[in-house]
A and B are shown apart, each in its own frame.
Chain A
Amino acid sequence: MSVAAVRQPARRSRVAAEVASWSATLKIGAGMMLVLVLAAIFAPLVAPYDPFAQDFMRTLQPPSLAHPFGTDNFGRDIFSRVIFGARIDLTIGFVTTYVPFVYGVLIGAVSGYAGGRFDAVMMRVLDTAMAFPFLVLIVVILAILGPGEQNIYIAILLVGWTMYARLARAEMLVEKNKDYMTAARVLGYPGRRILLRHGLPNVIGSSIVFSMSDFVLNILLVSGLSFIGLGIRPPIPEWGAMVAEGKDFMLQAWWISTMPGLAIVYTGTALALIGDGLARRLGERHRTLV
């Protein structure tokens, strides 16, 4: 692969060289994720059946060539539903991870850099949010707003930023007093420029690494919420909701619950591998949860 890449024009060979320099874990994780994202984007082409089509002649069929993951109690093809579920789970996971990522890191970096009253207020807000178990807080917010996809977004966006703010602030407190920051100040750059152009690139690393673990946790959270009936409602194909639907048929048809669960495990493993690879690449001080 690399030999062919060298002969290509500059831009492509740089991408190839970058990929070639990745560690094995990063390559495998990125590959697994790429397959999943492609499957989600081209779901109508990949999925052999309509995820909502019911077929009462073929209910509770075990996995076979026609139905790789079997069928559920309405005769819907589980493979197709898992593929379409990837769209929902990946979108929710991505939004609930990277939107709080942006303002969490910003809040953390600013309060680490500025200190003073802003820092004090933000950190007390953060302590309060972190005093509640994450899922309990989400459940309470959902209890007030009611279940549904939109309210899950609102609930997680309200509390998901805390970890990023904490990480970015801790790093900023260390970076603030380094020589290059002093140099930037001596050059007379305004505070905003120092913060965004000099500080932020150096404090963002551990947040990026953590965001991979957070992505997994958020997918687990959303599927968990759907499982207890507070998240995405059936018949929308969401993995957690599918596990819940299959719960009552565990004895006759283990595949209804098992297959969507395996999809979650696959996604989580891919993300954990990417996180591990990134952590090694960015250096020892960045650590993933797993």
Chain B
Amino acid sequence: MATVLSILIAVPLTLIAVRHRNRWPDHVIRVGSMVTFAMPPFWIGLLLILSLGLSLKWFPIAGFGEGLAGHIYHLFLPSLTIALFLAPILVQSLRNSMLDVLTSDHVEVARAKGLSEWQVLRRHVLRNALIPAITVLAVNISFLVSGAVIVEYVFSIQGLGSLLVRSVGYRDYPIIQGLSLVFALILVAVNLIADLSYMLVDRRVMRA
């Protein structure tokens, strides 16, 4: 869910940045992503609890909720916290690879066909720029899991992360061993999914 949110934040922002490359919206988004990258997840979490949770009372501040809708509702703030950490990395890598794609010939052809700049970006540049971005995303799942461990603690969610922290507190070594293996398995699985998803984005990979 954090991944979905970070993609939802990152892709439109990148499109705007590349559309207005090297002018002020680009600069604002670049500096903004640097600042959010520097924010510690546990700190964003606390501030979100304070502002959206306690002051505005839009979202619950802890717990896991009942049923699927309840889960999503309760997990919104934690996910947003991690997404804010992940999104800047995504924005930057997507921006770089889109700028690379922009220099290739098929973009000129698309422009020559008379497509609007937005259509060129969305249909011809974004799709080709996705593969490097997916790689970056997969690599950073490692950070995402790391973030989750701390964020679960902030929002007191009963998850694997808070179990890990608690068992470290009790020096429960079998649980620590098992959990680190589970985390490693998750990471390997995510990398596999990323490799497989290249095929969805780009059919040429299948033939290779």
Contacts and interface: CB of A to CB of B under 8 A. Distances in A.
A133 B146 contact: yes
A243 B40 contact: yes
A132 B180 contact: yes
- B40, B141, B173 — which one has the most chain A CB atoms within 10 A of its CB? B40
A58 B198 CA distance: 60
A139 B34 contact: no
B41 interface: yes
A264 B37 contact: no
Interface residues of A, number: 47
A254 interface: yes
Interface string A252-263: 001001100100
Interface string A173-211: 000000000000000000000000000000000000000
Interface string B147-182: 101100110000000001101110101001101100
Contacts of B62: none
A224 interface: yes
Given A133-B142, A250-B49, A290-B92, A143 B39 contact: no
Interface residues of B, number: 47
A216 B49 CA distance: 24
Contacts of B47: 258, 261
Nearest to B145: A133
Contacts of A250: 46, 49-50, 54
A217 B145 CA distance: 14
Contacts of B54: 250-251
Contacts of B196: none
A271 B179 CA distance: 33
A227 B187 contact: no
Contacts of A75: none
Interface string A206-250: 000000000011001101100111100000000010011001001
B78 interface: no
Interface string B177-206: 101100110111000000000000000000
A289 B46 contact: no
Contacts of B165: 139, 228-230
A112 B112 CA distance: 44
B35 interface: yes
B41 A265 contact: no
A221 B143 CA distance: 10
Contacts of B146: 133-136, 221, 224
A224 B92 CA distance: 24
A273 B39 contact: no
B39 A268 contact: yes
Interface in A138-160: 139-140, 142-144
B15 interface: no
A1 interface: no
- B47, B54, B176, B183 — which one has the most chain A CB atoms within 10 A of its CB? B183
Contacts of B183: 132-133, 136
B142 A139 contact: no
Interface in A41-75: none
A287 interface: yes
Contacts of A10: none
A269 interface: yes
Contacts of B177: 140
Q: What 5 A-B pairs come out closest when comparing CB atoms? A: A268-B38, A135-B146, A261-B43, A133-B145, A272-B34
23 contacts: A131-B188, A133-B145, A133-B183, A133-B186, A135-B150, A136-B145, A140-B176, A142-B168, A143-B171, A143-B173, A143-B176, A220-B40, A224-B41, A224-B42, A228-B42, A228-B165, A230-B168, A250-B46, A254-B50, A265-B40, A272-B38, A289-B89, A290-B37
Given A139-B149, A143-B168, A264-B43, 18 more contacts: A133-B186, A134-B142, A136-B149, A136-B179, A143-B167, A143-B171, A143-B173, A144-B173, A220-B40, A223-B42, A224-B40, A228-B149, A243-B43, A258-B47, A265-B35, A265-B38, A267-B38, A268-B34
